[in-house]
Structure 1
Amino acid sequence: MSARKTPPVHPDLESVLFTEMQLKRRVRGLGRELKEIYGAGEFTIISIINGAVMFTADLMREIDNPVRLDCVRISSYGTKTKSTGVPQVVASLTLDIANRHVLLIDDILDTGKTLLLVTNLVRKLNPASLRTCVLLDKQGRREVPIEADLVGFKIPDKFVIGYGLDFAERYRNLPCIGVLKPQLQNPPAWA
């Protein structure tokens, strides 16, 4: 009797890198790491949206510290699978973070340009401390010298979608993270 191959969660996925269960386990682990860093103290979470929305929400559920939440919106991909080169701040922070401990959360550290842009923006606001946490680290694509303090998973240079990550604003709702089929990695007619 041969083993049956489990089909991908979505027909547009070439493969699944991380299942819903693997994501939950790692997010729980990151929550424990944050507890070791911050103890019972308060800190401010800044989520880079839209991509980090699901990761941020799940991570917040794993910590019992008093936290404040703010978001910054950055645009760098549009309808492409490669960064447009220069990330742009679309919507900035609203909370005062001066003299506060700040945790910056992003979905993926790719070229590094977005994380560098936002960390520079946050540093100008004089936080007491600044740490970065990314769900995925694609080191093979780094173009600027930046590393995250906390990393969920290191991944190969593949275009991934799901669990907040998108292609042309689609697929964010997938419960897993998978590789988009190469033949679908061109700007769609509906974008």
Structure 2
Amino acid sequence: MQILIAEEQLRETVDRLARQIEEAYSGRSLTIIGLLLGSVVFLADLVRKIGLPYELEMVSSRQPMGNSGRPGPLVINPDVLAPIVEGRDVLVVKDIFDTGETFWELIPQLDDLGAARVRSAVLLVKQGRRRTPIQPDFRGFEIPDRFVVGYGMDHLGKYRHLPYIAALEPAELVAEPES
């Protein structure tokens, strides 16, 4: 395991992102939507630093499996989100911007629910992985294309508790046998 981003760097970057978000949304009606599960720690730290009123909701970014065994489209519950996004600025918070496909599917759905404007904030942007024209509006760090853990992100349910972000080595990515 190689530490990529230390705890202090994370704190400084969350502070910077909170200031940028406050400037961008000052005087606006803001709804923040966190994508589960990896963004929970980042989201919690970020919203504590944002000194503006906001609505907060969480949605699962896990995609249901289709008949083919491949991930299906990202689906949100409009009954839950419509009342808190209609006519409001929406900020979607995610841990990692990888291919961009989650935002590519989610943002039009939020637009259809009547959001005034949808922007995105991510802690990490993986280099060389983007497959859509979308770019995050607020970004923390650019990282190499490696599997990362810590600060809420896991591998097989482990490492979420780490106060820093680390890249796992290939040997560490091998699934452990079940006991």
TM-score w.r.t. structure 1 length? 0.82
Give the corresponding residue for 1:113: 101
Q: Which residue of 1 aligns with 2:158?
A: 170
Establish whether residue 148 from structure 1 lines up as the match of residue 106 from structure 2: no
Aligned residue among 110, 113, 124 for 2:112: 124
Q: What is the rounded CA distance, in whole Å, between the counterparts of 2:2 and 2:71 in structure 1?
A: 29
Instruction: Note the C-alpha offset of 1:190.
Output: 4.2
Indicate conservation of the 8 Å contact 1:47/1:71, yes or no. Answer: yes
Shift of 1:88: 5.2
Following superposition, the deviation at residue 147 of structure 1 comes to 0.7
Say which of 146, 155, 158 aligns to 1:158. Answer: 146
1:87, CA displacement in angstroms? 5.9
Q: 2:10 aligns with which of 18, 23, 30?
A: 23
1:125-176 deviation per Cα after TM superposition (whole angstroms, max 9, x unaligned): 1101111000000131112222100100011111110111111222111110
Q: Secondary structure at the match of 2:107?
A: helix
| Cα contact 2:74–2:102 (8 A) shared by 1 | no
Normalized per residue, the structure richer in helix is 2
Identity %: 39
State which of 53, 71, 77 in structure 2 corresponds to 1:86. Answer: 71
Distance in 2, matches of 1:100 and 1:26, equals 26
The answer to which of 153-162 and 168-177 deviates more is 168-177
SS at match of 1:27: helix
The whole-number CA distance in structure 1 between the counterparts of 2:119 and 2:148 is 24
In the TM superposition, what is the alpha-carbon distance from 1:92 to its structure 2 partner? 3.7
Q: Which residue of 1 aligns with 2:174?
A: 186
CA-based RMSD: 2.2
Alignment of 1:37-48 (within 5 A): 37-48=24-35
Instruction: Give the whole-Å Cα distance in 2 for the aligned partners of 1:41 and 1:143.
Output: 31
Residue pair 1:104, 1:132 contacting (<8 A) in 2 also? yes
Does 2:61 correspond to 1:74?
yes
Task: Structure 1 unaligned segments of length 5 or more: list them.
Answer: 1-13, 77-83
Q: Distance in 1 between matches of 2:143 and 2:42?
A: 16
* Number of equivalences: 172
Normalised TM-score (structure 2):
0.87
Q: Which residue of 2 aligns with 1:80?
A: none
